Amino acid sequence: MRIPAPGDLISIEKPISAVLIGGNLGKNNNWSYALISIEADHNGLVLEVYNPKSLEKKSISKAADELLLEQRKKYQKEESPEEITVIVMTIGTSIVEAVYDPNYMTILSI
């Protein structure tokens, strides 16, 4: 299985869950997270790829961590993957984090 890399274009083939990251880096430095559903036929540009095992030592839970736990529960019911990869991508003007699943997403080649 090929893992996406920054700069890759991802096509969403089936609906997925993701974390919408939004914020304002102005005076108040406010950031927010929201769990969302991304419908099929959207494309995203990969900004960052990481393995969530590096998050295990952190004590503060983030929305992305909670999404990851839900995805792990889903995988345990179906099939347990060897590694879970989280991708940060832009879709339109939004930045989202999602668990990469080759059954739901395709890496497009130009």
Burial 77-101 (b: 16+ CB within 10 A, else e): eeeeeeebbbbbbebeeebbbbbbb
**pTM for this structure?**
0.69
Query: Could you list the pLDDT tens digit for every one of the 110 residues in the chain?
Result: 788 999 999 999 999 999 988 765 556 666 677 889 999 999 999 999 988 776 555 555 566 667 777 776 665 555 545 678 999 999 988 899 999 999 999 999 76
Domain boundaries, the chain: 9-108
3-state SS assignment for residue 85:
coil
Residue 27 burial (CB < 10 Å; 0-12/13-18/19+)? exposed
Please give the single-letter amino acid code of residue 2.
R
